[in-house]
Amino acid sequence: MTLELPTAPKLDDAALAARLQHRIDNKTKPLGALGRLEALALRLGLILGSESPALVAPQMLVCAGDHGLAARGVSAYPSDVTWQMVENFLAGGAAVSVLARQHGLALTVVDCGVRHDFAAAGAPQGGEAPLGGQRSVGANSSAPRDGLAIRKIAPGTADASVGPAMSAAQCEQAIANGIALVRELPGNALLLGEMGIGNTSAASLLLARLTGLDIDACTGSGTGLDADGVARKRRLLRDVLALHADAGTPLAALAAFGGFEIATLVGAVLQAAHEQRVIVVDGFIASTAVLVAQALRPHVVQRCVAAHESAEPGHRLLLDALGLDPLLRLDLRLGEGSGAALAWPLLESACAILREMASFESAGVSQRDNT
């Protein structure tokens, strides 16, 4: 297949930025008194192209996939946890499920390459989806399970310690799936989530390759490895980097290190940026998808809001590379989109301040005396 990536034009409307800043500065408060909420309001106004931005039909997209590298002991949990947590999402029992309900976020879970069959009886079973076609469902078609979209490329990636995690064709298909998924979703805000045992290893590898940072600095405990486990993980990932020394471009690195859920999120980010949706970035793995998308389309990050800085050490480095300042620092390391959901009310508040807070003139309040 020939993959056509969506465009993401630069946001450079200086006139709109000036009008937004004027509105913010003339609200009934001292200059800058709402702190970083003011910068957030300005960013949201620019992304949505409005002096009175409103967030409509927000979509939480949780992409799931298994990793062949997990068999090498890079996680404290077995790979079966991936499909078990997908079931937990669908049953409404996971953290992101609870938070999505609390904040009115529509939750879609995507099987991008889980080593498990979620299909209903009589639906196509297992195996690799044909390139250029979808074997199952989207938001507007007959789904095997409510809230589940099946875009399975294969039942887990290959082991990146012996060869590429994905073929180039698989990588492109996963990106194309993410693009198509976002096209089907309503609203003007996309919140990113993921699930995949072993995916902090893929994220660490991508961060190291695309930024040139040392792999040790990019690698943490993931789901809770002890010190010896982290040391083994770092040694293995250093070997994996060396094995794929020729994977220098963003797409080649993505194919080499995986995974299907990260590649699907890359496509989702690219399409959301193209449509000028607000992109709410969760933790380390979701941020890695933005890093790849940004390498492909340099202005993608202008549409992004970093929800939080996770406890995974590579996340701070990744946010620095993207130039994003996180809204929250809660030492989260769950993934799933949980941090994005927790930060969501701040985005709603920032928009409400722009739309509804009175100006000095409209409220008849005296401004600061500068004489």
Each of the 371 residues of the chain gets a pLDDT tens digit; together they read 678 999 999 999 999 999 999 999 999 999 999 999 999 999 999 999 999 999 999 999 999 999 999 999 999 999 999 999 999 999 999 999 999 999 999 999 999 999 999 975 333 333 333 333 333 334 333 456 899 999 999 999 999 999 999 999 999 999 999 999 999 999 999 999 999 999 999 999 999 999 999 999 999 998 889 999 999 999 999 999 999 999 999 999 999 999 999 999 999 999 999 999 999 999 999 999 999 999 999 999 999 999 999 999 999 999 999 999 999 999 999 999 999 999 999 999 999 999 999 998 998 888 877 65
Report the sign of the C-alpha dihedral through residues 223, 227, 230, 232, in that order.
negative
Q: What does the pLDDT read at residue 371? A: 58
Domain of 41, in residue numbers: 14-53+354-363
Claim to verify: residue 82 and residue 121 sit in the same structural domain: yes
Q: What does the pLDDT read at residue 364? A: 87
Cis peptide upstream of residue 259 (ω within 30 degrees of 0): yes
Residue 232: is it exposed, middle or buried by C-beta count within 10 angstroms (0-12/13-18/19+)?
middle
Claim to verify: residue 252 and residue 146 sit in the same structural domain: yes
Claim to verify: residue 81 and residue 151 sit in the same structural domain: yes
The catalytic site residues sit at 336
Residue 279's DSSP bridge partners are: 190, 304
Query: What distance in Å separates the CA atoms of residue 201 and residue 285, rounded to the nearest whole number?
Result: 9
Q: What does the pLDDT read at residue 129? A: 37
Query: What distance in Å separates the CA atoms of residue 90 and residue 82, rounded to the nearest whole number?
Result: 13
Query: Cβ distance 123 to 136 under 8 Å?
Result: yes
Query: Cβ distance 79 to 201 under 8 Å?
Result: no
pTM of the model: 0.92
Report the sign of the C-alpha dihedral through residues 345, 347, 352, 358, in that order.
positive
Claim to verify: residue 185 and residue 267 sit in the same structural domain: yes
Q: What is the CATH number of the domain that holds 358?
A: 1.10.1610
Helix (H, G, I), strand (E, B) or coil at 272: helix
Q: Give the containing element (helix H, strand E) for 144.
A: none
In a domain, 327, yes or no: yes
Helix (H, G, I), strand (E, B) or coil at 82: helix
Kindly give, in sequence order, each residue whose CB lies less than 8 Å from that of residue 209, ignoring residues fewer than 6 positions away: 241, 244, 247, 248, 253, 257
- Number of domains, the chain: 2
Claim to verify: residue 63 and residue 46 sit in the same structural domain: no
Query: Cβ distance 303 to 276 under 8 Å?
Result: yes
Claim to verify: residue 46 and residue 64 sit in the same structural domain: no
Claim to verify: residue 82 and residue 204 sit in the same structural domain: yes
In a domain, 4, yes or no: no
Q: What does the pLDDT read at residue 223? A: 85
Query: Cβ distance 70 to 225 under 8 Å?
Result: no
Q: What does the pLDDT read at residue 138? A: 40
| Matching residue, tokens 């949706």 | 277
Claim to verify: residue 70 and residue 101 sit in the same structural domain: yes
